[in-house]
Amino acid sequence: MIETIDSPMTQSRMGNRLRVGGRWLCVVLLLVACTACVVREPRDREEEKLADLLGLDAVPEGLSYQAWFGLTQLDEEDQDFERTSSFDPTVRAAPEFSTMPLLGIAVQQKVVGDRIAAGAEGGATLGWWFDRESARNNTGALLLEVDSELLMLEFFFGGFVSADLGDAARIYAGAGPLLYVGLYDTEIEEQDPAIGTIYEDDETDAALGAGVYARAGFDFFFGSDSAMGIGVRQVVADLDFGSPSGEIDFDGVQVFLTWTLRF
């Protein structure tokens, strides 16, 4: 029989992870504050800053950029991060990542059309989360603790189509290939039930995975060309971190809030 428990050491690690999560929240709030500052700037100053950033004399017509914050929902059945105790093969702990916070940026450039348009888009996303699992055998002896973190960095490039719904809103959809860079960090503690000695191990593995994405969204414009909106995205990619870390079929649905500025 395998039973999940919370030890004092595990609770301490949980506190560390919560502090890291707090830092993420601060980053999100900072991005929101910076966004509000940008929206209040005069239009010509916004374009001048963006042109300087891109190294151009002027901002290309039909360019827009977007930032978003949301969640990735993953299927636990598509993950294989199970670890087995070296002292008792019946004791196993399997970290799982079902929900992952997400930050993203994207740039869209119209190629044809205006109110109904098509063009190219590209960008990047960053997702991170942690899980902790502890297991003991049927005698009650703690044999295995696994503390894991998964970081996913994505780069994507594809095409999009969009349609303005009057002056106040637009809908859009995009799709294309992507590349994921994954980092999987694991801290393992095993206890020898015979002598009570605790063995510790720390592993970090990286993986690359190519895949595809498809997304759609709705923007509601306020002011001149600033918009808030919602979006949904489907991503599919396979990443193998090697043995013994495990692998993940990154087949997930992402839901997010967006802020868009177009030129």
Q: Per the domain annotation, does 1 fall within a domain?
A: no
Q: Per the domain annotation, does 2 fall within a domain?
A: no
List the structure tokens of 44: 């010509």
Q: Which of 4-18, 29-43, 125-139 ranks highest by mean pLDDT?
A: 125-139
In the predicted structure, residue 8 carries a pLDDT above the cut 50: no
Q: Per the domain annotation, does 3 fall within a domain?
A: no
Q: Is it true that the peptide bond before 8 is cis, omega within 30 degrees of 0?
A: no
Give the model's pLDDT for residue 4. 38
Number of structural domains (the chain) is: 1
List the structure tokens of 198: 């605790």
In the predicted structure, residue 263 carries a pLDDT above the cut 80: no
List the structure tokens of 156: 């994507």
Q: Which domain holds residue 156?
A: 8-262
In the predicted structure, residue 120 carries a pLDDT above the cut 80: yes
Q: Per the domain annotation, does 194 fall within a domain?
A: yes
* CA–CA dist 253, 74 (Å, integer): 7
Checking 159-167 for CB contacts under 8 A at 24+ apart, the result is 159/118, 159/119, 159/120, 159/121, 160/108, 160/118, 160/119, 160/120, 160/121, 161/116, 161/117, 161/118, 162/108, 162/110, 162/116, 162/117, 162/118, 163/115, 163/116, 163/117, 164/115, 164/116, 167/221
In the predicted structure, residue 217 carries a pLDDT above the cut 90: yes
Q: What is the pTM of this model?
A: 0.75
Q: Provide the mean pLDDT of the chain.
A: 78
Instruction: Report which of residues 257 and 133 the model is more confident about.
Output: 257
**CB neighbours (10 Å) of residue 167?**
9
Q: Per the domain annotation, does 24 fall within a domain?
A: yes
Give the model's pLDDT for residue 45. 58
* CA–CA dist 127, 129 (Å, integer): 7
Mean pLDDT in residue range 112-119: 92
In the predicted structure, residue 63 carries a pLDDT above the cut 50: yes
In contact, 212 and 180? CB cutoff 8 Å: no
In 3D space, the residue among 39, 59, 35, 64 whose CA is nearest the CA of residue 47 turns out to be: 59
List the structure tokens of 215: 């997304």
> Would residue 54 be called left, alpha or beta, if left means φ above 0 and alpha means ψ between -120 and 50 degrees?
alpha
Instruction: Report which of residues 207 and 24 the model is more confident about.
Output: 207
Where does the pLDDT of residue 76 fall: very low under 50, low under 70, confident under 90, or very high at 90 and above?
Answer: confident
Q: Per the domain annotation, does 113 fall within a domain?
A: yes
